[in-house]
Amino acid sequence: MVWAILAALGSSILRASLNVIDRTAFGHRGAAVIAVNLVNNLLPLVIILPVSALVSGPGRTMEALGDIRNLWVAGLVQLVAYAFSFAFKGLTISQVIVFSKLPDVFILIGIYALTLAWSWADFAFAALTTLVCLPLLVGRGHTSQTRNGRWWAPGMLMGAVLVRGVFSGSLIQTQGEYHDVWLPITAATLWWRFVWSLVVLMGSAAVSRRVVWASPGVPLLIGRAVVTLGVQALYVLALAIGPATAVWPIIDSTALFSTAFSAILLHEHPSRREVAAVLGIVILTLARMLYG
């Protein structure tokens, strides 16, 4: 249990660090989202794939690569990665966090439509989370991107989070299935993320007849790839060795770390509404853990 908590905490802190890197790369330096995501998936893949084959064996690694669930999970993860990347071009970290939590209640409704599984406790927490995020939609809680009517970035983010939340539950493997294969699953997820991002890059090039390779700089690019590998590996490891009821609330504490890091490192000053929303998300997450 202790190692699971540490893995979840490490994943959460690294995810918050990734948010800072992405805000810097896409928001401040104007890096190309599609090209950077492709490179970001390729670099850690070069490391994790041979390590998985060496440690867990080629058979288990190939089995994970051939598992269709990992292909679709990677697609959902990459979809959300694109949405976050585009959102960071015009939104602060705290705003991105709040917008990403707005669809919570609709995720549960979508899951019910697919599985007929329902929990009033889960619905109550999800509804409260959505409610504490709603003030961001009015007043000064949004940026020039939304003030000018350009809602596509936050809209894309909320839509991507909603799709992932509804469909990932039936695809992500259980704790027992993760045991002893977390390394091959990490390798498979990164492999299929690379494939998906390559398809998107090729499609983008075919439509626009050009590829934008604007880079945030080599150090930031390498740092992003290393942090992405750490986030993915620790996330899968936490789910492999610990119960979801203990792991998920810690992983969801990314909101608190991200807001703190953005204030310290990027000198972003969130509005009172944004701070209240982030604190509400964290408090509800802790309450849900205690309730569970």
Query: Which range marks the domain in which residue 204 is found?
Result: 2-291
User: Between 2-22 and 68-87, two packed helices, what is the crossing angle to 10 degrees?
Assistant: 40
Mean pLDDT check: name the lowest of 171-175, 266-270, 280-284.
Answer: 171-175
DSSP alpha helix (H) spans, 88-217:
93-101, 104-115, 120-133, 144-147, 152-168, 175-178, 182-208
Share of residues in the chain with pLDDT > 70 (%): 83
Q: Which amino acid is at 112?
A: Y
Mean pLDDT check: name the lowest of 7-16, 97-106, 211-220, 235-244.
Answer: 211-220
Query: Does residue 102 have a pLDDT over 50?
Result: yes
User: DSSP letters along 226-267, please?
Assistant: HHHHHHHHHHHHHHHHS-HHHHHHHHTTHHHHHHHHHHHHS-
Q: What is the rounded average pLDDT of the residues 168-180?
A: 57
Q: What is the rounded average pLDDT of the residues 257-286?
A: 83
The total of structural domains in the chain comes to 1
How far does Cα 61 stand from its chain's mean position? 24
Query: Does residue 2 have a pLDDT over 90?
Result: no
The tokens of 219 are what? 């150090």
Which has the higher per-residue pLDDT, 116 or 208?
116
Query: Does residue 53 have a pLDDT over 60?
Result: yes
Distance CA 158, CA 168 (A): 15
Mean pLDDT check: name the lowest of 11-15, 84-88, 113-117.
Answer: 113-117
User: Nearest to residue 56, comparing CAs of 215, 181, 146?
Assistant: 181
Query: Does residue 214 have a pLDDT over 70?
Result: no
| Contact of 259 with 18, CB cutoff 8 Å | no
Distance CA 282, CA 31 (A): 30
Distance CA 1, CA 192 (A): 30
Phi-psi region of 215 (alpha: psi -120 to 50; beta: other; left: phi over 0): beta
Q: What is the rounded average pLDDT of the residues 175-185?
A: 66
Q: Read off the pLDDT band of 145 (50, 70, 90).
A: very low
Which has the higher per-residue pLDDT, 235 or 18?
18
Q: What average pLDDT does the chain have?
A: 81
Distance CA 282, CA 276 (A): 10
| Contact of 184 with 4, CB cutoff 8 Å | no
Within the chain, what is the greatest distance between any pair of CA atoms?
56
Which secondary structure element, helix H or strand E, spans residue 7, and what is its range?
A: helix 2-22
Query: Does residue 240 have a pLDDT over 60?
Result: yes
